[in-house]
Amino acid sequence: MVDAVTWRERRFMPGLRAALHVAVLALSGCSIPGPSADDAAIEAMPTQFAEPEGLSYPIAYVEAGDPEGQSVLFVHGTPGEKEAWADYLLHVPEGLHYIAIDRPGFGESGPEGAVPDLKEQASALSPWLMAKDGPPVILVGHSLGGPIIARAAIDYPGRVAALVIVAGSLDPALEEVMWVQYMGDWSVISWALPRPIRNANRELIPLEGDLAAMEPLLSEITVPVIIVHGTEDDLVPYANVSFMEKMMTSASPMEVRTLTGQNHFLPWNAKSEIDAAIREAVARVTGQP
């Protein structure tokens, strides 16, 4: 099936529940924030492809900044794609190397279908985590990207330098699958859905079990963790923060940046706060202010 949703539309949808929320807001005349960069600047970013070891499909990515600098890898939510991070890649601080990927099942990455497995999603980051002679990488994950980068820190010890978890959905007890999601997975309906929505749904339905399986492993994360979360996030509740504080007992250090009154769309409506969190992560890793 041809993907009928353009990147311009997908960039406004960090989750299936968010997509439903978007529909309500659209009907009420409200708007959802997205990258402020114009289309021409975003489309000018050249897409490249990596072949993660052990996976049978390519991972699309864009990069900018100093190739010799500290690498910072951005991981989007669901649905989503690499262009969601355009404002960051178009303004890379000196001495840093920014990379944004299309996660498996989204954008220009393979496969065509969904990959509802946090471990496999994390393995898609391996070309950068395991780069020969490269330093450990700082990972930034939004929404479902949060548990994916946490899984990467567990599976690739010594190769992840720090985590910046933005509105991350890590607490399995807070996951709720709506009846409409099960209905959307019926073959008679799913075939008609755009690929990003279909794959997002198939990622979210089993997420609670995947998070529960990862829960006892969170104490293995020993790198600095910076959590950025809005108190008015009605898609991924703020209560996820206390869960991470409770479970990531070995994170050194852990810092929580609470954004009072902010919702789920932090990469776009709280960019200065995300930039500050990345700067702090870089300082923790490099020892330089």
Looking up residue 79, the CATH number of its domain turns out to be 3.40.50.1820
Which of 116-130, 193-207, 230-244 shows the lowest mean pLDDT across its residues? Answer: 193-207
**Residue 13 vs residue 63, higher pLDDT:** 63
pLDDT at 206: 85
Question: For the whole model, what pTM was predicted?
Answer: 0.88
Query: Is residue 2 a part of any domain in this protein?
Result: no
pLDDT at 180: 56
Query: Is residue 160 a part of any domain in this protein?
Result: yes
Query: Is residue 156 a part of any domain in this protein?
Result: yes
Per-residue pLDDT tens for 255-289? 999 999 999 999 999 999 999 999 999 999 988 77
Query: Is residue 38 a part of any domain in this protein?
Result: yes
Range of the domain at 34: 7-286
Mean of per-residue pLDDT scores for the chain: 86
* Count of domains for the chain: 1
pLDDT at 25: 38
Which residue reads 């890793």 in tokens? 285
Query: Is residue 116 a part of any domain in this protein?
Result: yes
Query: Is residue 1 a part of any domain in this protein?
Result: no
The percent of residues above 90 in pLDDT, for the chain, comes to 70
